[in-house]
Structure 1
Amino acid sequence: MTTLPDRPRSALLVTDVQKGVVAHAHRRDEVIAHIAALVERAREQHAPVVWVQHSDDHIEQGTESWEYVPELVRREDEPLVPKHYADAFENTGLEAVLAGHRVGRLVVAGAQTDECIRATLHGAFTRGYDVTLVADAHTTQDLTAYGAPPPAQVIAHTNLYWQGHRGSGRRAGTADTADVTFTPASGEG
């Protein structure tokens, strides 16, 4: 139902699952296992897997903290999009990558829920994409010392908010890892 013409495909967007980003993430191992299952499913269903990798003053490109976690291995033919802002579309080549693969629906997983995941969800949706957030495949660290709710509440609130998000001519929603498919006839989201 995307508003983007001639974009029938779905893609998995693996966002910022880097050593320094998820080192202290809530339910880190469980979330990474779910993302690994999504990567395998996308590959089996011939859907593009697009990897997003953040760098800034805190996570410098080329450092160990900038590297993807070892549990997730990108194939050489899978696009890698470097970014410097929370929204993976902001000043990156992500749109060109997705257009080249005729993608109109994104399945989003990764970190951090309260910044890069939320910004990318909104960035995709406002650009006309259908966007499914994988409810059990995103995470964040504990920022309660700065006044944020505990990580489990941040994740739950984001899932609640996104499952009810609406817009003209496109769909948003959530799905658990077990229910995600990448085929054009997919009913979730």
Structure 2
Amino acid sequence: MSDWRFPQDDGHTPLSEEDRQGLLLSHIATRDDLNDAEQRNITKALRRRAPTVDRLLDDMYLRGLHKAMFGEVWEWAGTYRQRVTNIGVAPTQIAADLRMLTDDATEWIKCEYFEPDELAVRFHHRLVTIHPFRDGNGRHSRISADYLAQTLRQPPFSWGARLDLGIDVLRRTYLTALRTADRGDISQLLSFARS
């Protein structure tokens, strides 16, 4: 699997006190430290066996996956965010929207409504749009989509790893594909997922 970090800066920016709220590791002082700690935690979480489709499409599993990915770094890992953010549904809507997503995905699979790759990418996009957690939503939803693809007998996605782009350009390309999907055109995100 590819590098899930997609950092937003050069990594040397000191963390503010607000950034440090809920941080479990006292030695972390910069974004680079944080990225490294999160990546180690994610790598450890990915050693787990991939879930079955029924298990994956369950609220408890999705929260548990987030906790496995970030629980060694953040005390709030695996719990829904309580604050309104610039992306995502209202905190009071998270549980209901996530349940609707897992129900929809179950129906998509049952009725073979989409090809497997498109189904998994649509699941990813909706999960990102809900934005259930305080942080780590993109990484969590990409890994969830990889697991969903695997349950549908497809290889995990590459998420732009074959594009030979720097991490900043890769992140911008991914975000552009997400915004295009927000407008109803999933093709760019689908292409990015396999590139």
Global fold match (TM > 0.5):
no
Q: How does the TM-score come out when normalised to structure 2?
A: 0.30
Q: How does the TM-score come out when normalised to structure 1?
A: 0.30
Q: Which has the larger radius of gyration?
A: 2
